[in-house]
Amino acid sequence: MIVLGIDPGLATLGWGVIESAGGRQRLVGYGCIITKPDQTLPARLMAIQNEMIALLSLYHPDEIAFEELFFARNVTTALTVGAARGVSVAVCAAQTDKLYEYTPMQVKQAIVGYGKAEKRQVQEMVKLLLHMDDIARPDDAADALAIALTHSATGVSSAQFLMK
């Protein structure tokens, strides 16, 4: 099974692709979709849409996992990141209905075993689990790989994380 993990963002959207088979995970690829602050919001959203379409065409994921958004303070940031996430979800929904979402705490729990783990701990575990030489950079790409690993670990329980 090919799993695409997505860490939504407007300026930087992280993505990570793993192959999961027989309880083992293999790194396929990772990176980020970057948009520039001097672009208009519509131009940034179109760039995300186009690059997401290209990712789906390249990797043909069987299932796609997103990190749920959580913002406590900055409403403006929440709205623009929500717009970027919405574009990503719509593009992915056109390919498959196997869309899942996980909270940051669920990802930390699945990867490190502790829901309040530090970002560095999650990054080190992703590196170990995927037999990488270095931690994935930037952080958004490492987060996306953690999301993909979290999804692959849910197995038969994944239905409870299906996007509603």
The span from the CA of 118 to the CA of 124, in Å, is 10
Residues with a catalytic annotation lie at 7, 67, 140
Q: List the one residue out of 80, 78, 90 whose CA is nearest residue 163.
A: 90
